[in-house]
Structure 1
Amino acid sequence: MTSTTKTAGATAAIGGTLAAGEAATQTMPPLGPNSTAVPGPGDYNGGSIDFTRTGVKGKESFGNFGCDTFDGNPNTPDWTTANAYFVRTVQNVDVTMPDGKKLRCWGFGDPLKAPGRELLPSPLIRVQEGDLVHVKLQSSKGTHTIHHHGIEPTTFNDGVGHVSFEVKDDYVYQFQARHAGTFFYHCHKNTVTHFEMGLYGLLIVDPKPENGRVPAYAGGPFYDVEKFWVLDDMDPRWHQITNLDHDVGLCGDDAGLNIFEPKYFLISGTPTRPNVLVDKQKIVAKPGQKILIRLLNASYSVLQVMFEGLEVQVISVDGHALNKPWNQWLTIAPGTPFTLPTAQRYDILIDTGSPANQTKTGYTHKVHFEFQHWITRKVHNAGDKMYEGRAFTTITI
């Protein structure tokens, strides 16, 4: 069902633009059944752009990287009415770790759908293929950006500060969701530290429903149970430094951030301890159901994953479905470990009714995660009963 909206500065139909302040009544494409957006059009933010006020001032080199990036609140080039609208603020999020200490993190807030709530990871952005999406960033302290990782907008809307600008107060990012998949969004100002601080969240693009149900991708499998697993590691020293200086490590600054020694490990914002079940992230399914797990490695470690007792299939990697003759689904046998580097996403399908799994029903199966050092490939803090980089949760069928 479509919605009719009367708004200042909107377009009469997607593609055209009215002058600011001009009213129009329009019919908006409906949001998908799983969408986390509010219906567009949202704020009008079009108008002329002074492109000399974007990019990098002067000549940039390794020594002055991060020194001379423009900041501001420009209009959105080629502003077009969106049917899916989001607002993201920047806020502090304090997380209590297993040793009782509180770690200061940052997160994107969602004042439209979850006002006042502090979430880690940041609230889900979920849209449907074909949606024209606006994400309004409202910065508070310091400048920030939003990069929609894996999405292909214009350079101006890509949220990479050093090729466009950093948002001082607010800016409306615009993109069209072209194909279904699992993506994520994060701040791309001082990427290494702001991502570590927690400024990231999942971004899901659903295909359009087929026969009343939403598949994993167009023409792909349907699923009954969906779970998001976002794995992260945190070095408290980095958080102490970055919380005092948003620009730490830029502009030739040597703050010792070449050394990363994580003490805390999380699954979808839930702190973990080695050999202790992460109950909040477990999965429960009925025999015959299909489980879709959207897995993101948001850590700065090599993430090793192993499913006990269940055959799993990787059906999509980094937002791209494995549905071609040259890149078909990857079947992983029970007990076989596999690894993901930083920022990689796997969509994992578990068919509990398949010949390999139907005899495994009525049981609880462990899923193990190891956070490994990038160079040595050793588990972080191996042998430490509090800080070892191991975690597990379960799947019960």
Structure 2
Amino acid sequence: MIWLLVHMASTILLAIFSGIAAWNVSRTYRATTKGKLYSRLRSSLIWMGISGLVFIVKVTAVVVLAASGWVFAEDKLAMQLPMLAIPAAAIVLFSIPATRAIRAAAVKASKEPPTAQERLAAAAPGWVFPVLISFVASLAAVVQALFIAQWPLQIGTVIAVWSVYVAVVYLLWIRQKSRYHRLVATGSPETGTLAVRVFRKLGVLLTVVLVSAVWFMLGAQSSRLAERMSMADHMHAHMHAHTDGISPQFVSVAELTGPRTGTPDRSFTLEAKKTMIALHSGEIKEAWTYNGQILGPELRVKQGELVEVTLINKDIEDGVTIHWHGVNVQNAEDGVAGMTQDAVMPQEKYVYRFIAEQTGTYWYHSHQQSSKQVQMGLYGVFIVEPDTTLPQKTADMAVVLHNWQAENGTTVSLGELNRLQRKIAEPGTLVRLRFVNAENLTAQIHISGVPFQVEAIDGTDILEPEDLIDSRLDLAAGGRYDVTFVMPDTVVGISRQTGPFAHDGNVLVVSPSNEGMPPDAVKGPIFDPASYGTPAQTMFGPDTRYDRNYTLVFDNRPGFYNGKFNFVHTINGSVFPDAPMFMVREGELVKMTFVNRGFDDHPMHPHGHRMQVLSRNGKAVTGSPWITDTLNVAPGETYEVAFIADNPGIWMDHCHNLEHAAVGMSAHIAYEGVYSPFEMGSATVNLPPE
């Protein structure tokens, strides 16, 4: 991450400093006195030197990034560095020696006008031109870094960028030669009256403004999502490239349901409705809730049970759904509006039915414009317990992390809303805390006063977990950790921050009685799932041959999404609906490589599948098999993961920072032969991500 930031900073600074150098060099010959000529030459040398140092920093950053993986540096090596290196070499060979020679002949404090020979030397294209081209190249590097986040890099893109660069260089060379010949012919640096020069500059400014306005309008218009779109069409375009001539038998996602008959073992009704709540800040805020609760009702079932959940929408105008986050339900039960079902509109209902096959901690939330609806409160905990009897002295608690945005600040909650929470557990009790991160960002959790173990990650148990003391848990957005400890005679504290325990929604206290405060939360080592627990043999190993290998490269850049200029987050250079469709066949072994070239964390969440993490930054996982459904990929990180394609359908694979998904960071995993009959868009009930 540091070198990504260094590279971006050096790219921008290089454009600024080389621009100052170009400004000084281009106006040197117009100096009114020999003293000013000397001063401008000195300034030119200084700014050329500063630009050179920044260029060296940029080259160093690219070399380090390339050592971390070719994908981090390929666009920089193919376009940015060569464009910058050519004028940099010319500056060293021609511009700097010429500047020194002219400066040596100039009189430092003279107020006399420069001679014609001195002006000609200061305007000579041979020393001015490389500095100007260096500025052009640095601008091209900024444009490429900010706006061209393509992967894999296409030869057509490289040719297009180089063509524009060469054309600008040629036009600038013609202009510079013309200016020099005019100076030779007239002996005067003036190029017209003051009015003419002002008019010319205004014309250039107006042209830039008009071109930018046209680009902005065309970019906004071309990015608008269709009023109706079908992911089936998008899928077919990708499928033709992967079917090897086989014509699959098509099946609708609507047919891929859970059991439609049989008496359910557990039945729940969730009513989505508007509810007024009071925040810790004192503000009264409208929330969207399931059954009027913040958070929604906790749903607990036993492994193997047939679960039936009836969703009723009372008054949420945009419609709602329920997505079972981390639960590998059948595709029709996945709750994605416009993909696996239509949104449930006011006064409508929808019934989900599935077998709870996986034990563990999960959660549910609406997947109709989820960035807005989860923030408003449409979420809850879903727990699948093993079909066994738990020890008698067990305290099992779900703790949900969520932030509420208010007009006068942010209310942070850990479990219940707005207040310090106390739970009572007798000494010797096995305490299980099920942490669920319902936020968009990684959440920090500090546990003080007792050794603890991370028992499970995203619903999958850790093999032989070890005791941790004061370790910080960094929980991915959408992710879950199950933490266990044996209750001591003293007070245990759980906090979102280090330091003394405050009386607010950041704190949960577990004690033998309803009193006392835990020791301060300290800044301990960060828990690392890659080296925790005992290794075990799995179906994925170093010698596994995969049927499909996909690479997902994450970038962020300024751009348009659905008619709005934004800071978009891309997968392989594209945003929804042009982001990749990863085609698979049932039974295949699939390997994915996640590479984050951007500056934000991206908790990647493929629906309907669990991933086994194979390696991080080229280093294999050495602990208990790390199985997850929400993997946080930090800036500069590379992960290799694998899964078996054993759940037919069309599945979202998106960043669970839902604000990122809302600006297009969403792809799909699609099984060949499966299509969706549903549509999304402003002309349907299924709204695109926003």
CA–CA separation in structure 1 for the residues paired with 2:226 and 2:404: 25
| Matched letter for residue 507 of structure 2 | F
Q: CA deviation at 1:67?
A: 5.7
Q: What residue is the counterpart of 2:415 in the other structure?
A: 268
- Alpha-carbon deviation of 1:284? 2.2
2:462 aligned with 1:286: no
Equivalent of residue 329 in structure 1, options 465, 468, 489? 465
**Residue matched to 2:224:** 63
Indicate the residue corresponding to 2:261 in structure 1. 80
Q: Is the 8 A contact 2:400 2:415 kept in 1?
A: yes
CA distance in 1 between partners of 2:429 and 2:360 (Å)? 21
SS of the residue 1:192 aligns to: helix
TM-score, structure 2 as length reference: 0.35
Shift of 1:331: 3.0
Q: What is the count of residue pairs matched by the alignment?
A: 259
Q: Distance in 2 between matches of 1:63 and 1:223?
A: 57
Q: By how many angstroms is 1:201 displaced?
A: 0.4
Structure 1 residues 329, 89: closer, same or farther in 2, change over 3 A?
same
TM-superposed deviation, 1:330: 4.6
- Structure 1 residue identity aligned to 2:465: W
Work out the CA distance in 1 between the residues paired with 2:479 and 2:449.
24
C-alpha separation in 1, matches of 2:414 and 2:432 = 16
- CA distance in 1 between counterparts of 2:405 and 2:397 reads 26
Describe the superposition over 1:279-323 as per-residue Cα deviations: whole angstroms up to 9, x where unpaired.
Answer: xx3232222221111111112232111112211101111111113
* Distance of 1:315 and 1:66 partners within structure 2: 46
User: Aligned partners of 2:320 and 2:294: how far apart in 1?
Assistant: 17
Alignment partner of 1:121: what SS? coil
Give structure 2 stretches of 5+ with no counterpart: 1-221, 232-253, 513-690
What is the Cα deviation at residue 75 of structure 1?
10
1:340-355 equivalences under 5 Å are: 340-352=475-487
Q: Which amino acid aligns with 2:490?
A: Y
- C-alpha separation in 1, matches of 2:393 and 2:409: 35
Counterpart check, 1:126 vs 2:303: no
**Larger of the two Rg values belongs to structure:** 2
**Pair 1:171 & 2:332 matched:** no
Deviation at 1:329, TM superposition (A): 1.7
Question: In structure 1, how many angstroms separate the alpha carbons of the residues matched to 2:299 and 2:305?
Answer: 12
| Percentage identity across paired residues of the two chains | 23
Match of 1:144 among 320, 325, 328: 320
- Give the SS at the match of 1:88: strand
Pick which of 294-303 and 120-129 moved more.
294-303
Could you say which residue in structure 1 is the equivalent of 2:330?
A: 154
After superposition, the CA RMSD in angstroms is: 2.9
Tell me if 1:392 matches 2:574.
Answer: no
In structure 2, C-alpha distance between the alignment counterparts of 1:119 and 1:390, rounded to whole Å: 17
Q: 1:148 to 1:66 in 2, by over 3 A?
A: farther
- Return closer, same or farther for 1:365/1:130 CA change in 2, 3 Å cut-off: closer
SS in 1 for 2:338: helix
Alignment of 1:1-397 (within 5 A): 63-64=224-225, 77=257, 79-81=260-262, 82-109=264-291, 118-141=292-315, 142=317, 143-165=319-341, 166-168=343-345, 169-209=348-388, 213-214=389-390, 224-236=394-406, 263-272=410-419, 278=420, 281-323=421-463, 328-333=464-469, 335-352=470-487, 361-370=488-497, 391-397=506-512
Amino acid of the residue matched to residue 287 of structure 1?
Answer: P
Give the AA of the match of 1:343: G
Identify, as 1 or 2, the structure richer in strand: 1
CA distance in 2, matches of 1:181, 1:223: 19
Note closer, same or farther for the CA distance 1:103–1:68 as it changes in structure 2 (3 Å cut): farther
Deviations 1:348-389 (A, max 9, x none): 11123xxxxxxxx4322332213xxxxxxxx9xxxxx99xx9
The structure with the largest helix share of the pair is 2
How far did residue 160 of structure 1 move? 0.8
* 8 Å contact from structure 2 (residues 452, 484) kept in 1: yes
* Cα distance in 2 for residues equivalent to 1:390 and 1:80: 44
Give, as a single letter, the amino acid of the residue that structure 1 aligns with 2:334. D
Letter of the aligned partner of 2:413 in structure 1?
L
Letter in 2 for 1:148: W
- 1:140-199 deviations in Å (ceiling 9; x for gaps): 333111111111122111101131222231111111100211111110011111011110
SS of 1:182 mapped into structure 2: strand
Q: Following TM superposition, by how much is the alpha carbon of 1:99 offset from its aligned partner in structure 2, in angstroms?
A: 2.4
Q: Which amino acid aligns with 2:344?
A: V
Unaligned runs of 5+ in 1: 1-60, 110-117, 216-221, 238-260, 273-277, 353-360, 371-378, 380-384
